Amino acid sequence: MKRSLVFLCVAACLASPAPMLARDGVEVGQESAFAKLVPAEQVEQSAKQQYAQILKDAASQNALGSDEHPQVIRLRRIANQLIPQSYDWNPRARDWKWEVNLLGANQINAFCMPGGKIVFYSAILKQLDLSDDEVAMVMGHEIAHALREHARERMGKATATNGLATIGSTVASVFFGISPNVTDFVAKQGANLLTLKFSRDDETEADLVGMELAARAGFDPRSGVTLWQKMSQANKGAPPQWLSTHPASTTRIQEIQANLPKVMPLYEQAIANR
């Protein structure tokens, strides 16, 4: 009964989405009503705490890039160009305490946690030999996940599917460490067929929004093609698309190419205004 009530509530929200104003750039779907089941402030507070712990652990292992590290300076410069482009996608982003850090780790990875907490691993810069334009595409993609509140959406969806949505203090206790059984359930959602296509959609959306952010900041969106060509080479032997929660590199390249006509004018305008 509780699960049915939750889905009825979410369905009602989805049935009457707010109209989207005409705009230049990429087109993505409405924000998910599932995210509304979990307070944004609590998600961002949790991310802040986890991010601080990540940096602390890295510092203890001498793996945290210093403020004077050339790659840290580079990443923060690129971020400073991208961040002002984010506000139209999520008004909360204006008040986020953005941070950008570099971790020395042999992983081709980067992320942006809710609230604008960005991390790049050194391997993604070294092994892929990324240009500034390609870094901007990676960073824009990760920022897009935060702007579109995909983590919050996944939490909300897990809440609904598990029949645990009780708005208020219960939500906070469920998702931020008091109930190990539930947090374990949420952690396993990536393997759930119910969320498989949803996760692919998130990645595609982040690719497109990230490409627009980069273009508006004056970074060449065509670099998304070369980025994913490099990623494909670095991830040989990866599982086929239907076994993965992420779109295949060829699919991502096709989506980027299909949307280039929508963002190239934004890039050209940004270059002209420099």
Q: Pick the residue with more confidence: 169 or 51?
A: 51
Name residues whose C-beta falls within 8 Å of residue 48's C-beta, 6 or more positions apart in sequence: 97, 115, 117
pLDDT at 83 over 50: yes
Residue 69 within any structural domain of the chain: yes
Domain limits for position 180: 39-272
Residue 44 CB coordination number (10 Å):
23
pLDDT value of position 152: 79
pLDDT category of residue 72 using cuts at 50, 70 and 90: very high
Domain assignment present for residue 236? The answer is yes
- Who wins on pLDDT, 85 or 25? 85
For residue 123, list its beta bridge partners: none
Residue 148 lies in a domain: yes
Q: Does some domain include residue 222?
A: yes
| Euclidean distance between CA atoms 153 and 13, whole angstroms | 14
User: Helix, strand, coil proportions of the chain in percent (round to 5)?
Assistant: 65, 5, 30
Higher pLDDT, 202 or 224: 224
**Structural domains counted in the chain:** 1
Using alpha carbons, select from 171, 174, 258, 198 the residue that is nearest to residue 222: 258
pLDDT tier at 35 (50, 70, 90 boundaries)? confident
For position 52, what pLDDT does the model report? 93
pLDDT at position 110 is 93
Mean pLDDT of 89-110: 95
pLDDT top residue among 75 and 191: 75
Cα–Cα distance measured from residue 246 to residue 249, given in angstroms and rounded to the nearest whole number: 9
Residues 6+ apart with CB under 8 A from 67: 73
Q: Which of 5-9, 48-52, 215-219 has the lowest mean pLDDT?
A: 5-9
> Quick one: what percent of the chain has pLDDT higher than 90?
53
Distance CA 218, CA 227 (A): 17
Cα→Cα distances 209→16, 101, 265, Å: 23, 22, 15
Within a domain: residue 20? no
Burial class (CB in 10 A: 0-12, 13-18, 19+), 95: exposed
**Window from 61-70, 193-202, 258-267 with minimum mean pLDDT:** 193-202
| pLDDT for residue 156 | 75
Confirm whether 125 is domain-assigned.
yes
CA-to-CA distance for 197 and 189, rounded, in angstroms?
12
Average pLDDT for residues 103-131, to the nearest whole number?
A: 95
Residue 32 lies in a domain: no
The pTM is what? 0.79
What pLDDT, on a 0 to 100 scale, did the predictor assign at position 91?
A: 93
Alpha-carbon dihedral sign for residues 80, 85, 87, 89 = negative
The three-state secondary structure class of 87 is coil
**Residue 238: its pLDDT value, please?**
66
What is the token pair recorded at 174? Answer: 């469920």
* 110-113 and 117-121 beta bridge pairing: antiparallel
Please identify every residue annotated as catalytic.
142
Assigned domain for 18 exists:
no
Question: With bands split at pLDDT 50, 70 and 90, how would you rate the model's confidence at 239?
Answer: low
Distance in angstroms (rounded) separating the CA atoms of residues 114 and 184? 20
Q: Dig out the tokens for 176 from the structure.
A: 């931020």
Higher pLDDT, 157 or 149: 149
Please tell me the predicted confidence (pLDDT) of residue 222.
Answer: 97
pLDDT digit string, tens, across residues 164-191: 544 444 444 444 343 444 344 334 433 3
- Sheet (strand 117-121) strand order: 99-103, 117-121, 110-113
In the prediction, which pLDDT does 121 show?
96
